[in-house]
Structure formats: structure tokens, C-alpha cells
Amino acid sequence: MKKIHFLMILAVIMITACQPKTQTVDTDAAKESVNALMEKYLSAWNGKDVNTLKSLITEDGLFCGTDPSELMDKKTVTDGWIQVFADTAFNYTFTVDKREIRMASDGNSAIVMEQHVTNPFTPKIPWRLVCRAVKTADGWKLDFISWSLIPKNEDIGKLNKALE
């Protein structure tokens, strides 16, 4: 009887000791870090700072422009930024009208959505930037960005008619 009692206590101790340790993640702090990343991105964009923009994206990221053919890797998107910023006829600066950050429960990634209007490029059609931020050994970086035009629902008929 003593042996069975001892084996049961040993089994309970073993089962308890083998349980995975749950680690509490401070998602608020992670969210602040992602927000800082996006502020750095905005500042670099408005400052036409391609080197900083390049440092904020991962090597193996996917970057989607507004044209269906624009599925880009890091080199292609960086070359595009250089080309866009060389055109001094347009001022591509913007301010963010709305930003939403949704953190993953593990605190290692987030989805970010921003909306803005870029004058004079598209003063009547807002833009939406959707990206994924990931925590890397070098800090937070963007491994996915999608830029899109988001016309108001009531303007879609007018746009379709204009494209006929």
C-alpha cells in the first residue's frame, strides 16, 4: 500500500512538473512598439528616406502596390520608392487619419491598418495601408504591406462609368 501511495505522489509531482510554463505577454507594450514602428515608417516616407524605409522591412517580405501587377520583393519595392521620391512634381506626403493595430496574443506579430488621403496624387480617393509587423532579432519589422485605394461606396458607380 505504501508503494502505491508513493507512486501516486510521484506521478502527481511528475505531471505537475511537466506542465508548460505560460508566459504573460505585455501586449500593450508590444502595441506601443508597433505604433513606434509605424511612426518611423511615416516619418521616413514623408522625409523620402529610402534607407530608413528599407531598414523597416524584412528581406523576404511581400509588398503589394495598388496595381494588380505590383507584387514586389524588398529590392523591387525599394527601387520603386527611389523612383517615386525622385519625381519632384508630386508631393507624396500624408498624415494618418486612422490607425488600428491588432496584436497577436503571443505579442510577436500584429496587423496594422492605416487610412489617409495623399494630396495631390489622389485628393478624392482615400488610401488604405495594411501591413503585418513581426518581432525579429533586430526589432519590429514589416514583412507584408498592401497599399490600396478605397473609394467610397457611393463613388464606385462613377468610377466604373469613367473607366468605360
pLDDT at 112: 98
* Residue 5 located in a structural domain: no
Predicted confidence at residue 132, as pLDDT, reads 98
Residue 48 C-alpha cell reads as 523620402
Gap between the Cα atoms of 128 and 122, Å rounded = 12
Rounded Cα distance, 125 and 10, in Å:
68
Number of domains in the chain: 1
Q: Determine phi and psi for 4, rounding to 5 degrees.
A: -65, -45
Range(s) of the domain holding residue 156: 22-162
Measured in degrees and rounded to the nearest 5, phi and psi for residue 113 equal -125, 130
Confidence (pLDDT) at 121? 78
Q: CA 119 to CA 133: how far, in whole Å?
A: 26
Q: Is residue 112 part of a domain?
A: yes
10 occurs within a structural domain: no
The predicted structure's pLDDT at residue 158: 93
The answer to whether position 154 is within a domain reads: yes
Q: Render 12-62 in DSSP notation, one character per residue.
A: HHHHHHTSPPP----HHHHHHHHHHHHHHHHHHHHTT-HHHHHHTEEEEEE
Round to whole Å and give the CA distance between 149 and 108.
Answer: 28
**15 is a domain residue:** no
Three-state DSSP at 92 gives coil
What is the full per-residue pLDDT of the chain (164 aa) written as tens digits? 566 666 667 666 767 666 666 667 788 899 999 999 999 999 999 999 999 999 999 999 999 999 999 999 999 999 999 999 998 887 888 899 999 999 999 999 999 999 998 877 788 899 999 999 999 999 999 999 999 999 999 999 999 999 89
Say which CATH number the domain at 120 has: 3.10.450.50
Whether residue 119 lies inside any domain: the answer is yes
Residue 17 maps to a domain: no
Question: Residue 65: how many CB atoms within 10 A of its CB?
Answer: 16
Contact (CB, 8 A) for 133 and 109? yes
Q: For residue 8, what pLDDT is reported?
A: 67
The pTM assigned to this predicted structure is: 0.82
